[in-house]
Amino acid sequence: MAGAPDAVAVDTRRRRRLAGRMALAIALGIAAGLATGSAGFSPSAFWADLAGGDAGLILGQIRAPRTLGAALAGALLGLSGAISQGLFRNPLADPYLLGSASGAALGVVLVLAAASLGGAYISLSAAAWIEQAGLVTAAFVGALAGVGLTLALARGAVQTLRLLLAGVVVGVLLGAVSDLITVASPDALRGKQAFMLGSTSFLGWNALALMCVGLAVLLALARRYARALDALTLGEDSAASLGLDLSRVRLALVSMLSLGTALAVSQAGLVAFVGLVAPHLVRRSAPGPHGWLLQASAGMGAALLLGADVVARSLIAPQELPVGVVTAVLGGCYLLWLLRQRSAR
Amino acid sequence: MSALLQAEKLGVRLGGREVLTDLGLRIDAGWTALVGPNGAGKSTLLRALAGLQPPSRGRVTLQGRALRSIPPAERARSLAWLAQQGEVTGELTVRETVELGRIAHLGLLGTPGPADRAAVERAIDLTECHEWQDRRLHELSGGERQRVLLARVLATEAPLLLLDEPTTHLDAPHQVALARMFRRLARDGRQARAILSVLHDLPVALRADRLLVLARGRLCADGAPTDAAVQAALVQVFEGAIRIETDDRGAPRLSLALDDGPDDAQALR
């Protein structure tokens, strides 16, 4: 028994320390996001903006929503990534596995192609309706439809392997349809590319409210399903023998990760690597059961995307880099570093 | 009186192959060892009895009720299963893993009460996992991990335990301790458990109350390890590679028939 309480205390201390650091990183990220404008990251320009007549517009309508939105989208991706890795029992699983990314991209391409062809083929009122429905709705519906198609092909969530294979098939097929449409309507290609690279520049207060409600619901559900994800670490059969109805649990987890991913990608585009890397970072710094891992991955995702967003907006100011490019570079470097560490051991 | 667990005309097909054929057995309180050569269908039988492998023919009943009709949580309170190879991912500690055994009692959101904590404590005591209860599973040796997974099964406090090779990775002292624990649990006056364990360690299996000998998906013998017919069936399914003798106290003793065949030089020629 000697030393046992110490191990628990060490775990608790590590988790508290990481939670504190994430809170600090999020606070600093929000402050940096507010202080990053067309001149790049500049606290002095921030004070000037604050004192200026357009403070309400610049800070209240542009920088605040996109900064807070980056945090929320990151949190949704981090949480969805942790759910995906727990569900598939694979630390390399990401939230886009089940067709949500290709579905969202197809949704965006369809709307862009319809809008560009609208003048020739459809009435003005229909074109206006398409524009009004917007890319956000298209991406959201597309992401959910992609996962729905995966579930249909896999005949529900009865088998994990079948689900994964169906996700791959849907990804390839919907990607091919997207490509075909962009060949027929080249105007849609640019829009699709912008969506694929991710951006926080279109985030407004309405988007924030939507993501906020979604994140709150998902965090509450994550608390409920954390124990089921813990049971899955013992293997699917063992989890079933513990009394879990695995088909229902899988379906609930797939729904949760699709909703989280759809909300994030519809607002911020296909931001890469956050969903994959956030749970990794939490596990490395302060491992623990899913009750902790899911919530902490949301916090880590928020901190990561906030940081990446500030870098994307300030590196080549007054121009912006797509935030997905920054997360991809940072995420790729992190995984490379992880790989080198493992081979050095 | 209906058996705790009963299989009637049980058949299982996997990949077009008949793995279990027309199998009938009943399991009541006591320690039963299930033995047989590789590929005999032992793990499949255990999975079918646990409700994890749907039978292609026949049926399994738990206390007279069809196993498939019993809701998962209720079934898990009556019947616990230990996997052959404890595949484990994640970052759970030993104690957190053992606590998972209480899911069927707590549901997904319930907070462990005194009865749950006591069950976890008993399971950790029985398997002697106290010393490293706060370490993570992936930091343990194969044998230590096996004991933790067994503790997780014991924490369910289910009256029926289906254990697929629980002695895997265990050293000799822990194999002996495990055999003693099974006998104790099976004869516990308060709650005598029914334990059905697949065992490759035949000397340990011979200490069980009852031996089931399985070969090519069929039950070849069912009886006490001291029963001559059971011993003969055992020698036969292992193609004469084992010898069973009776010691001074009447207990069966097993040895490998290493000297009975052609010598190594001849075999190599």
* Residue A237 with chain B: CB contacts under 8 Å: 47, 52, 81, 83
Closest CA to B181 of B171, B199, B169, B195: B195
Strands B252-256 and B242-246: antiparallel
Q: Which residues of A91-103 are buried (b: 16+ CB within 10 A; e: fewer)?
A: eebbbbbbbbbbb
In 3-state terms, chain B is what percent helix, strand and coil (to 5)?
A: 35, 25, 35
User: What's at A212, amino acid-wise?
Assistant: C
In this predicted model, which residue has the larger pLDDT, B1 or B25? B25
Cβ contacts of A14-22, under 8 Å, gap ≥ 24: A14/A285, A14/A286, A15/A286, A15/A288, A15/A292, A15/A296, A17/A286, A18/A282, A18/A285, A18/A286, A18/A296, A19/A296, A19/A299, A22/A296, A22/A299, A22/A300, A22/A302, A22/A303
SS3 B162: strand
CB–CB contacts below 8 A, A to B: 92
Start-to-end Cα distance in chain A: 30
pLDDT value at B95 more than 70: yes
* Residues in CB range of A148: below 8 A, 6 or more apart: none
- The DSSP secondary structure of A293-321, one letter per residue, reads HHHHHHHHHHHHHHHHHHHHHHTTTTS--
Task: Please give the pLDDT value at position B169.
Answer: 85
Nearest Cβ partner of A289 from B52, B96, B103? B96
For B51, the enclosing helix (H) or strand (E) is none
Nearest Cβ partner of A243 from B103, B149, B152? B103
Nearest Cβ partner of A233 from B76, B92, B108? B92
Distances A197 to A37, A176, A194, A328 between C-alpha atoms, Å:
20, 18, 5, 9
pLDDT value at A263 more than 60: yes
In this predicted model, which residue has the larger pLDDT, A43 or B46? B46
Query: To the nearest whole angstrom, how far is the Cα of B89 from the nearest Cα of chain A?
Result: 5
User: What's at B176, amino acid-wise?
Assistant: V
Closest CA to A93 of A311, A238, A237, A277: A277
Report the pLDDT averaged over residues B195-199: 96
Task: Please give the pLDDT value at position A2.
Answer: 41
pLDDT value at B255 more than 90: no
B153: closest chain A residue by CA: A242
Report the pLDDT averaged over residues B65-91: 90
User: B97 and chain A: CB distance < 8 Å anywhere?
Assistant: yes
Decide if A234 and B149 are in contact by the 8 Å CB cutoff: yes
In this predicted model, which residue has the larger pLDDT, B266 or B15? B15
In this predicted model, which residue has the larger pLDDT, B138 or B7? B7
Task: Please give the pLDDT value at position A1.
Answer: 39
d(CA A325, CA A7): 40
Closest CA to A246 of B90, B58, B108, B81: B108
pLDDT value at B190 more than 80: no
- The DSSP secondary structure of A191-234, one letter per residue, reads HHHHHHH--STT--HHHHHHHHHHHHHHHHHHHHHHHHHHHHTT
Pull the structure tokens for residue B157. Answer: 């406090």
pLDDT value at B47 more than 60: yes
Nearest Cβ partner of B83 from A86, A223, A235? A235
Query: To the nearest whole angstrom, how far is the Cα of B219 from the nearest Cα of chain A?
Result: 25
Task: Please give the pLDDT value at position A3.
Answer: 43
* Residues in CB range of A324: below 8 A, 6 or more apart: A196, A197, A198, A199, A269, A270, A271, A272
Provide the mean pLDDT of chain B: 90
d(CA A310, CA A308): 6
Closest CA to A58 of A36, A76, A79, A73: A36
pLDDT value at A266 more than 50: yes
CB-based contact A241:B48 (threshold 8 Å): no
pLDDT value at A7 more than 60: yes
Decide if A242 and B76 are in contact by the 8 Å CB cutoff: yes
A128 pLDDT tier (thresholds 50, 70, 90): low
Task: Please give the pLDDT value at position A156.
Answer: 83
d(CA A71, CA B254): 67
pLDDT value at A72 more than 80: yes
In this predicted model, which residue has the larger pLDDT, B44 or B189? B44
d(CA B138, CA B133): 13
Pull the structure tokens for residue A69. Answer: 């939105």
Task: Please give the pLDDT value at position A75.
Answer: 98
pLDDT value at A344 more than 80: no
Decide if A288 and B108 are in contact by the 8 Å CB cutoff: no
* Residues in CB range of A332: below 8 A, 6 or more apart: A273
Task: Please give the pLDDT value at position B261.
Answer: 59
d(CA A258, CA B77): 33
A133 pLDDT tier (thresholds 50, 70, 90): low
A280: closest chain B residue by CA: B90
B267 pLDDT tier (thresholds 50, 70, 90): low
Query: To the nearest whole angstrom, how far is the Cα of A142 from the nearest Cα of chain B?
Result: 32
Pull the structure tokens for residue B196. Answer: 């059905």
* Residue A91 with chain B: CB contacts under 8 Å: 89
Nearest Cβ partner of A235 from B79, B87, B106? B87
B150-188: pLDDT as tens digits: 999 999 999 999 999 999 888 888 888 889 989 988 987
A41-52: pLDDT as tens digits: 888 888 887 777
Kindly report the backbone phi and psi dihedral angles of residue B192, in degrees, each rounded to the nearest multiple of 5, phi listed first: -70, 125
d(CA A301, CA A278): 5
* Residue B74 with chain A: CB contacts under 8 Å: 243
Task: Please give the pLDDT value at position B1.
Answer: 63
Query: To the nearest whole angstrom, how far is the Cα of B70 from the nearest Cα of chain A?
Result: 11
* Residue A8 with chain B: CB contacts under 8 Å: 134
Q: Which of B69, B82, B108, B137 to mutate to test the interface with A (most CBs of A within 10 A)?
A: B108
Report the pLDDT averaged over residues B143-151: 92
- The DSSP secondary structure of A98-162, one letter per residue, reads TTHHHHHHHHHHHHHHHHHHHHHHS-HHHHHHHHHHHHHHHHHHHHHHHHHHHHHHTTSSS-HHH
pLDDT value at A98 more than 80: yes
Provide the mean pLDDT of chain A: 88
Query: To the nearest whole angstrom, how far is the Cα of A296 from the nearest Cα of chain B?
Result: 14
CB-based contact B12:B51 (threshold 8 Å): no
Q: Which ipTM was obtained for this model?
A: 0.90
* Residue A223 with chain B: CB contacts under 8 Å: 109
For B255, the enclosing helix (H) or strand (E) is strand B252-256
Closest CA to B63 of B45, B47, B75: B75
A300 pLDDT tier (thresholds 50, 70, 90): very high
A154-188: pLDDT as tens digits: 988 778 889 999 999 999 999 999 999 988 888 77
Closest CA to B62 of B154, B158, B151, B153: B158
B265 pLDDT tier (thresholds 50, 70, 90): low
User: What pTM was estimated for this model as a whole?
Assistant: 0.90
Query: To the nearest whole angstrom, how far is the Cα of A239 from the nearest Cα of chain B?
Result: 9
User: B112 and chain A: CB distance < 8 Å anywhere?
Assistant: no
A218 pLDDT tier (thresholds 50, 70, 90): very high
